[in-house]
């Protein structure tokens, strides 16, 4: 699992690559939350395009960040063009509450 | 009738989640599945093994058993733990229900297994363990005939 967390103005850009399962969600959660709360960032852009695997542990991770951000008055959006990731996002109902864009630029424009 | 069988035993460590799903996917590959079918089976196995580690053994050390059987164009996968068992199986199957909300679990494990596979049976006895049986029919072989 490769994780990159960068600050872009008021947004935290989180890019995930590789396999997101229960084994590595805790590490990912800690890294995202540390940056998010330390830098008092409002919004999160979650780029899932590099994921080769994601199960419901990843859904739990996204739902948890969604709750934090709502409490903070911010917004979360996802970037994805991967059909396997989309399938699990759809099953979980996440697509009904979080918008997905094909590129980071589009996500930045719409956040 | 084409038949095959395999059995895998491993420690209930989270690093074995990827090991288990890759082994089952490799076993299933003799059915010549599509990439989507392979991805479905990996996801379902990952859910069942994660449940065994988090809920069955509650992070204590135990043995997880994965068995898989191929009968013609169908694969059956059984994931078993000898852990604490599920208090209410019907409740556990409900979408978004989790017995561990503090761990940020989505409560979607069984829903994902049900959606990604063609059949799901759960047998659980309190204090003795849980056995999850899933099956999936692969269509790719038929397409070639």
Interval A69-81: pLDDT, tens: 999 999 999 999 9
When pLDDT is averaged across residues A103-109 and rounded to a whole number, the result is 95
The predicted pLDDT at position B141 comes to 59
Q: List residues of chain B with CB under 8 Å from any CB of chain A.
A: 14-15, 17-18, 21, 36, 39, 42-43, 46-47, 50, 53-54, 95, 103-106, 108-109, 111-112, 115-116
Report how far Cα A26 is from the mean position of its chain's Cα atoms. Answer: 14
**Cβ contacts of residue A70 below 8 Å, gap of 6+?**
none
Question: Which DSSP symbol is given to B20?
Answer: H
Instruction: Report how far residue A90's alpha carbon sits from residue A30's, in angstroms, rounded to the nearest whole number.
Output: 25
May I ask the CATH architecture of the domain A2-110?
A: 2-Layer Sandwich (3.30)
DSSP string, A30-77: HHHHHHHHHTT--EEEEEEEEEEEE-HHHHHHHHHHHHHHHHTT--EE
Interchain pair A91, B112: CB under 8 A = yes
Please indicate if any CB of chain B lies within 8 Å of the CB of A18. Answer: no
Q: Kind of pairing, strands B3-11 and B63-71?
A: antiparallel
Report d(CA B100, CA A32) in Å as an integer: 21
Longest CA–CA span in chain B (Å) reads 50
Q: What is the pLDDT of residue B29?
A: 95
ipTM above 0.95, yes or no: no
Higher-scoring residue by pLDDT: A8, B53: B53
- B114 secondary structure, DSSP code: H
Q: What is the reported pLDDT for A66?
A: 96
Structural domain boundaries of chain A?
2-110
What pLDDT is recorded for position B120? 98
The Cα A11–Cα B101 span in angstroms is 27
Closest Cβ–Cβ partner in B36, B103, B109 for A56: B109
Residue B131, C-beta contacts closer than 8 angstroms, at least 6 positions apart: B78, B79, B80, B122, B123, B124
Do the Cβ atoms of B17 and A23 come within 8 Å?
yes
Series of mean pLDDT values for 10-residue runs along chain B (145 residues)? 93 98 97 95 98 96 98 96 96 92 89 97 97 92 56
d(Cα B99, Cα B86) in Å, to the nearest integer? 10
The CA distance from B50 to B52, in Å, is 5
Rg (CA), chain A: 13
The one catalytic residue in B51, B60, B104, B139 is B51
Annotated domain spans of chain B: 3-144
**Is a pLDDT exceeding 60 seen at residue A39?**
yes
DSSP string, B46-88: HHHHHHIIIIISTTS--EEEEEEEEETTEEEEEEEE-SS--S-
B67, B93, B105, B114: which one is catalytic?
B105
List the structure tokens of B15.
């690093």
pLDDT digits (tens, 9 = 90+) for A50-101: 999 999 999 999 999 999 999 999 999 999 999 999 999 999 999 999 999 9
Residue B144's pLDDT is 54
Distance in angstroms (rounded) separating the CA atoms of residues B109 and B63: 20
Active site residue B4: no
Residue in B14, B104, B106 closest to A92 by CB: B106
Task: Assign domain B3-144 to a CATH class.
Answer: alpha beta
Cα–Cα separations (whole angstroms), residue A47 to A77, A96, A101, B59: 9, 18, 9, 30
pLDDT at B1: 73
Mean pLDDT (chain A) is 95
The pLDDT value given to residue B2: 80
């Amino acid at each position: 699992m490769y994780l990159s967390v960068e600050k872009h103005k008021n947004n935290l850009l989180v890019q995930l690559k590789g396999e997101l399962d229960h084994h590595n969600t805790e590490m990912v959660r800690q890294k995202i939350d540390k940056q998010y709360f330390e830098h008092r960032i409002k919004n999160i852009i979650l780029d899932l395009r590099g994921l080769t695997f994601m199960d419901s542990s990843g859904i739990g991770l996204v739902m948890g960040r969604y709750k934090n951000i709502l409490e903070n008055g911010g917004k979360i959006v996802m970037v994805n063009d991967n059909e396997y990731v989309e399938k699990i996002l759809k099953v979980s109902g996440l697509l009904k509450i979080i918008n997905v864009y094909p590129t980071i630029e589009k996500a930045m424009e719409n956040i | 009738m084409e038949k095959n069988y395999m059995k895998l035993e491993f420690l209930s460590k989270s690093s074995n989640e990827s090991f288990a799903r890759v082994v089952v996917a490799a076993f299933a590959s003799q059915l010549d599945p599509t990439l989507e079918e392979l991805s479905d089976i990996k996801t379902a196995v990952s859910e069942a093994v994660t449940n065994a580690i988090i809920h069955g053994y509650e992070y204590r050390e135990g043995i997880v058993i994965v068995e898989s059987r191929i009968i013609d164009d169908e694969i059956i996968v059984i994931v078993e733990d000898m852990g604490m068992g599920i208090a209410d199986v019907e409740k556990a199957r409900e979408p978004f229900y989790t017995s561990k909300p503090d761990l940020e679990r989505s409560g979607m494990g069984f829903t994902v297994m049900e959606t990604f596979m063609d059949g799901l049976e759960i047998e659980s006895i309190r204090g003795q363990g849980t056995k999850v049986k899933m099956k999936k029919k692969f269509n790719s072989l038929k397409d070639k005939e």
